[in-house]
Structure 1
Amino acid sequence: MTESVSPSPAAPRRIPILAIIGCSAAVLAIAPSLVVFVVGFLPDMALAWWFLLMTFPFTIIVGVIALVITIIALILDIRARRTLAWSIAGLVLSLMAVFVPLWFFTGGFAGGYVASL
Structure 2
Amino acid sequence: MEHPKRLNGFPIEAGKKPTAERRRIMPRFFIDTFDHIDVIDEIGTDLPSLGAAKDLVQRALAEMIVEEGMRRPSAELRAVVRDEAGRRVMAATMTMGIEWAGGEAA
Both proteins in one fold, TM over 0.5: no
- TM-score normalised by the chain length of structure 1: 0.36
Higher-Rg structure is 1
TM norm structure 2: 0.39
- Structure having the higher helix fraction is 1
Relative to its length, the structure with more strand (as a share) is: 2
